[in-house]
């Protein structure tokens, strides 16, 4: 596979995979068909990220708010995740992909949590792409859980309140040890975060694409990466790029 000519490859790309339902609607199909087609797009995105040399790919698979959808749709989505892990885990492992799961775990019922833990455990020593699956994930919930863990340590006398720093908060989030996303892509034309990586996105670049998630292929991924490479990230400082000639 030819590596595309992209000037700057982000270390961490996070994707809000949106528009499965509308993709299906447009074709007169049931929403569930959009979700199954979306799984194909997930596989292609993982392959592309690995080929290009991206180190971390975070995929928003199911939000803590998605439980409010009709029971049948929730059950379809859980079924697809189950199938994805059961069928594709061996292949991901062979491809040296390391899986991390972020999101609330304690309240998960049934076989989903053991499956996610198995995926993490099986691939923990892999050294290729880290695939971060955001499942039952909501950023405010994640921050609240981090605050709760820190305050427990304060109460136990392990941490001084004055020692609480931004790094310490980082280290208590589900994403501990994972660098902040450089690029956040959202498909389907919506331009919002929907409670995704609020803390971690502080200096992320955003690329919003009109395409529905099931249509997101290698070419669209590369298009987003090229837009990212054209951005001037300043982090509050001054541009590191040569000054543009004015006039």
- Catalytic residue positions, numbered: 18, 66
Query: Minimum distance between the CB of residue 53 and ligand IPE, rounded to whole angstroms?
Result: 25
Query: Minimum distance between the CB of residue 120 and ligand IPE, rounded to whole angstroms?
Result: 19
Range 68-127, binding ligand IPE (CB under 6 A)? 77
Task: Select from ligand IPE, Mg ion, none the partner in contact with residue 17, using the beta carbon and a kind-dependent cut-off of 5 to 8 Å.
Answer: ligand IPE
CB 15 within 8 A of CB 190: no
Per-residue mark of binding to ligand IPE, 13-52 (x: CB under 6 A)? ---xxxxxxx------------------------------
Which residues are paired to 12 by β-bridges? 56
Separation between Cα atoms, residue 45 and residue 64, nearest integer Å: 23
Query: Minimum distance between the CB of residue 24 and Mg ion, rounded to whole angstroms?
Result: 12
Handedness of CA 192, 197, 199, 203 (dihedral sign): negative
Number of residues that bind ligand IPE (CB under 6 A): 18
Does 207 bind ligand IPE (CB under 6 A)? Our answer is no
137: helix, strand or coil: strand
CB 85 within 8 A of CB 116: yes
Which residues are paired to 58 by β-bridges? 14, 132
- Cβ closer to ligand IPE: 43 or 192? 192
Which of 241, 243, 207 is closest to 226 using CA atoms? 207
* Site residues (vs ligand IPE, CB under 6 A): 16-22, 60-63, 66, 77, 188, 190, 192, 194, 213
């Amino acid at each position: 596979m030819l590596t595309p000519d992209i000037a700057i490859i982000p270390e961490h790309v996070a994707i809000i995979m949106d528009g499965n339902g509308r993709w299906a609607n447009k074709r007169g199909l049931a929403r569930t068909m959009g979700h199954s087609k979306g799984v194909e797009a997930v596989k292609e995105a993982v392959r592309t990220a690995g080929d290009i040399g991206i180190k971390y790919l975070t995929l928003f698979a199911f939000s803590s708010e998605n439980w409010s959808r009709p029971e049948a749709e929730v059950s379809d989505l859980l079924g697809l995740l189950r199938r994805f892990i059961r069928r594709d885990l061996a292949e991901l492992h062979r491809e040296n992909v390391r899986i991390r799961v972020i999101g609330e775990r304690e309240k998960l019922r049934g076989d989903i949590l053991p499956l996610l833990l198995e995926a993490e455990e099986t691939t923990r020593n892999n050294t290729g792409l880290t695939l971060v699956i955001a499942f039952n994930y909501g950023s405010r919930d994640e921050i609240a859980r981090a605050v709760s863990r820190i305050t427990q340590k304060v109460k136990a006398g392990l941490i001084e309140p004055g020692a609480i720093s931004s790094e310490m908060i980082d280290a208590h989030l589900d994403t501990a040890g994972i660098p902040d996303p450089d690029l956040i892509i959202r498909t389907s034309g919506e331009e919002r975060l929907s409670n995704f990586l609020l803390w971690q996105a502080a200096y992320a670049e955003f690329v919003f694409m009109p395409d529905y998630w099931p249509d997101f292929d290698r070419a669209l991924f590369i298009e987003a990466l090229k837009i990212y490479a054209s951005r001037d990230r300043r982090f509050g400082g001054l541009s590191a790029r040569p000054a543009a000639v004015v006039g």
